[in-house]
Amino acid sequence: MPPSFKFIFVALFYLAFSTNLIAQQFLPSEFPDRIVLTWSENPMNTQSVTWRTSASVTESKAQLILAPNSPIYLEHVETLDAFTEFLEVDSIQANYHSVTFRDLKPATTYAYRVGEEDTWTEWIQFTTAPEKGSPFSFIYFGDAQNNLKSQWSRIIRQAYSNLPKAAFMLHAGDLINRTHSDSEWGEWNYAGSFINAMIPSIATPGNHEYNRDEDGTLILDHHWKKQFTFPENGPKGFEETVYYTDYSDLKMISLNSQEIVLDEKSMETQRIWLENVLSQNTKKWTIITFHHPIYSSGTGRDNKEFREVFKPIFDKYKVDLVLQGHDHSYGRGRNLPSGVANQDPSAQGPVYVVSVSGPKMYNLTFDKWMDRAASNTQLYQLISIEDDRLSYGAYTATGQLYDAFDIIKAEGKPKQFIDKADKAIQEAVELTPGSDKKMTPEEMAEYMRTYKKGN
């Protein structure tokens, strides 16, 4: 090949390859974007909303109205000034605006929009939480993390198509991959788009929402507190990462497991806070979420110190469900007194779930504590609570039921667990692509012995 042609070929190859590495920047403008609903206070009578604009927009507003069946007439709307914070990340300057609507009626649909003058968004609707005792359903996602625009988008959209009236969406950490990456948060918001603006999010941070500064101090992603407005009812220093939200008969608790596994003082602070919250809990159902699993579903992972400190608390206060991420595989197991799945139908401890919604995949652990497992499978979970019954279903990217169970808590009776995995598709436990190059023959044989029995 002549030198000139060789140079052109190399240049074109480099250009094609480097183009794939260029992240879409999702630059802010005067028009609001990244609209996210959350709660910072009581979901029955408040609703928080956060959005972004270019830094040139120093003031922004939100308007609210009881959603009518008629067209929306502006003389009936309430207008509120937003709280505005500046953020510069990746040389991108933006303002983040937030408003909390208060004095709302329970179980009521409202319409809102954000912006100002010529930059108003469309009118968007949300529904406040019902009174205590009312049934509801929500969506739970494990790690999104990678390929958010191209591949995670189909998971959140499939989940929404299955449960468009979800009360909220729960994210168990690692929403993005690179800390402080504005382009990745742009992808996360792109994937969720109008869904994030209609259904409130509850999120707990993962290890990928953290890095360390020069003196080794853990630093939370700069976007977290700018684009989410979570409760500040946790211990001092853990505002908007350690908190609880009460919804109908449920107490939903977020712990900051990144701080727990890396800092003994943080672990003790959260332990004391959690014991206090659970000791005063009057809700019928209790779900706890955090990122690092108590029992890991992924190869070569274990959080022994975390488990030894917190599992006894979960057992003592009869926590119903623990929802986790981090291991990029799926595992569901029960009270687990010694790391072995407990089939005792009278077990009163939590059901532990590890799940993944994004496309990054790990192989399953050889220590099979799970009653139901999955590798190389993107999933989302739909969870419903009505009276004495909690119903759980895990679904694949195409909407197929992969796992299911019910928990029944009748007055004066032991908690009952009903496994419904037999109604789901066949268990997916194949090794992830490329495993043959990473595992020894002995590891391959052990994996086959653990997961291929009876398949």
CA pair distance 180, 89, nearest whole angstrom: 7
pLDDT at 335: 59
Question: DSSP H helical segments within 361-402, as ranges?
Answer: none
In this structure, which CATH number among 2.40.30.30, 3.40.50.300, 3.20.20.120, 2.60.40.380 belongs to the domain 33-127? 2.60.40.380
Instruction: Give me the pLDDT at residue 2, please.
Output: 52
pTM exceeds 0.95, yes or no: no
State the Cα angle at 410 between 404 and 39, rounded to 5°. 65
Residues of the chain with pLDDT under 70: 1-22, 335-347, 453-455
What is the rounded distance in angstroms from the CA atom of residue 267 to the CA atom of residue 302? Answer: 16
Do the beta carbons of residue 238 and residue 269 sit within 8 Å?
Answer: yes
Residue boundaries of the structural domains of the chain: 33-127, 136-449
Alpha-carbon dihedral of residues 292, 349, 250, 229, nearest 10 degrees? -10
> Cα–Cα distance between 139 and 252 in angstroms, integer?
13
pLDDT computed for residue 15 by the predictor: 42
pLDDT value of residue 18: 40
Whole-number pLDDT of residue 13 = 40
Phi, psi of 194 (to 5 degrees): -70, -20
Q: Which CATH superfamily is domain 136-449 in?
A: Metallo-dependent phosphatases (3.60.21.10)
pLDDT at 19: 41
- Closest listed residue to residue 352, CA positions, set 328, 379, 371: 371
| Residue 10 DSSP one-character state | H
Half-sphere exposure of 73 (CA within 13 A, CB side): 4
What is the pLDDT at residue 368?
84
pLDDT of amino acid 108: 98
